[in-house]
Structure 1
């Protein structure tokens, strides 16, 4: 069984937006005004889209016992297209920084900031995954060496392998399997020194080149690379060049209409891997990166708020879904829910997804970013 009614998705998104708006009214996050607010607002849609996608996947999982993509084009694209755009955002941000680098690029600062941007919230989510596993298992079922090795792979963002922890078959479902995308993020980061050469017309320090080569050799030895995701990064890298060499105003009603039509066309394809779907997404994203706000919607403070906490939302929503349907309600009971009753449960946990993501941002993401700034500043002072 699969859920296909898009009405449920729109209600879920509305609840998330309302929750984000209420939280932001009381605890207003400080947003850097120099950032591309259209991109920040877009992020707010993306993370909630992935949450709704996995909600539909869970509905199918409860009825079939198999963890499969949503059969509905609309619900599947809420995951596939949203992650593709996340990759585009990554490429846009860092290629844009390279293009605007006037002096030498600080690679030490780059890798330090990337680690402390991703690691704190990730390790918090990993701690929750371990807690869930041992609530289910209650004891260790593997030897200590195998257990420690499995922890090591997960501590390394499952970049090279993502084994079951304690032989628990639910390991990869507990967080809805979202960590595969972080592998591609790290792949992009270690490719960036080579991408920088034609842009900066400088070769990065030898140690950075060596470290990057070692990473890439190990990565390609252990992992199959789906080039459909590489195309997403390439699509996101177009906008920085357009921004640098064009001064046109793209925040017009005509362009906004075109972007909306692009997004309305996406559900005609099952996945963003479809080349036509990918091209449409790249067109829409580049207009947004060039400043289009979709009739001003992407500048709304509540969407920018959801965009600010989107990384925690991405990491944590699957864990909350698993706790709700496996530990609290029970999969057998939930499997007997009508479609409406199931989605009422999703609507009930949506505010918790947003609020816990906000707490994760406040207590893990933000301190991690501040710590990286202190480390980078200390290194700069030491080199003076």
Structure 2
């Protein structure tokens, strides 16, 4: 995703037009988002589906401290970068009240400020996925009530039917902007949770199938599923299969347990949120210094390494401390509730 967005940003800054010359990288980025949604569906349906009385307040407190602090840090970084950019380009440096929309973590309205249009580019456009993730969290109480216990599997399969066959037509009828595919991938994760204990597969076979599935997506997926978010895409089957295999312990013969991959997985949210502002900043500096296009590949490499370093720091010094504080608040809340 980071590689894809760097190309989009380059063309926007030099164009200006948000476009890519490497659609296959965009395809891989879409796979990443689909897996992100599916893992969310898997984890949180697993938390609540069999619970007789989920503590919804605790769940939302934990989610708030997991997601929002890094968003605030990211927005502050973007404001600083844009303010400095506005000053260098002799634009109006007065920040309007529209900036408050940037701190709203529940919607995707990111208005321009400092007289700079398309200010959202510094986010790499990733915030829309968080809107859908919050939508899934808020839907969990309803999903829990409708699909409790022994009905969970049937309910989940029914949701897939609704999303694939009914929702797209309904959306088209009412002309309302929504992406039905986004909900499909959450439900794919839910379905994996429902069937994972009903499917017996050895780790060796799981590793082989995982290697095949990843290989198919990397080498053939683009030809059969350019529109990952299309509910008719074959890719959705492989997203289901990959998540199922991972849930059964597949790790590509231990490769996925290497410390570097574990660390990148832990810092993946930071990478996802912070890569936009890092790449945007370096590209704007290059533009200001009139850096030749032949150095752009090197600049991209520097931006990727910088993103990884920044993301590791934000994971250890922003994410982890706030996750810890969130858990402390939940413990106090649960204790007071019992008392």
Q: CA deviation at 1:353?
A: 0.9
Once residues 141 and 271 of structure 2 are traced to their aligned partners in structure 1, the CA distance between those partners, rounded to angstroms, is: 29
| Shift, 1:98, TM fit | 1.8
**Contact 1:266/1:277, CA 8 A, preserved across alignment:** yes
Aligned position for 1:157: 105
Aligned to 2:266: 308
Matched residue, 2:137 = 189
- Name which of 202, 212, 226 aligns with 1:249: 202
Gaps of 5+ in 1: 1-49, 203-219
- 2:168 matched residue in structure 1: none
The 1:229–1:250 alpha-carbon spacing in structure 2 relative to 1, beyond 3 Å, is: farther
- The counterpart of 2:222, out of the listed 267, 272, 277, is 267
CA pair 123-56 structure 1, distance change in 2 beyond 3 A = same
In structure 1, the partner of 2:83 is 134
Aligned partner of 2:71 among 122, 130, 144: 122
**SS in structure 1 of the partner of residue 135 of structure 2:** helix
Query: 1:250 & 1:96 partners in 2: Cα distance?
Result: 22
Structure 1 runs, 4 residues or longer, greater than 6 Å off: none
Task: Tell me, yes or no, if the aligned pair for 2:50 and 2:149 is still in contact at 8 Å.
Answer: no
- Output one character per residue of 1:279-329: Cα deviation in whole Å (capped at 9) or x when no partner: 333333332233222343222221110010111111111111111011x21
Q: Secondary structure in 2 aligned to 1:354?
A: helix
**How far did 1:140 drift?**
9.0
Q: Distance in 1 between matches of 2:265 and 2:212?
A: 23
* Matches of 1:256 and 1:112, distance apart in 2: 35
SS in 2 for 1:333: coil
Counterpart CA distance in 2 for 1:85 and 1:354 is 20
Counterpart check, 1:298 vs 2:248? no
Residue 72 of structure 1 corresponds to: 22
How far does residue 170 in structure 1 lie from its aligned partner after superposition? 4.0
8 Å CA contact 2:70, 2:270 repeated in 1: yes
Question: How high is the TM-score relative to the length of structure 1?
Answer: 0.73
Q: Are 2:37 and 1:87 equivalent residues in the alignment?
A: yes
- CA-based RMSD: 2.7
Partner Cα distance (2:57, 2:309) in 1: 34
Separation (CA, whole Å) in 1 of partners of 2:266 and 2:3: 18
Alpha-carbon offset, residue 165 of structure 1: 2.6
Q: Once the 2 structures are TM-superposed, how far is the Cα of residue 114 of structure 1 from its aligned partner?
A: 0.4
Unaligned runs of 5+ in 2: 151-170
Q: 2: distance between equivalents of 1:161 and 1:350?
A: 27
Whether contact under 8 Å (1:116, 1:368) holds in the other structure is yes
Per-residue Cα deviation, 1:2-33 (whole angstroms, up to 9, x for no partner): xxxxxxxxxxxxxxxxxxxxxxxxxxxxxxxx
Instruction: Please say if 1:178 is aligned against 2:155.
Output: no
1:330 corresponds, among 283, 287, 290, to 287
Measured in 2, the distance between the counterparts of 1:331 and 1:190 equals: 44
Which has the larger displacement, 226-235 or 59-68? 59-68
| SS of match in other structure, 1:164 | coil
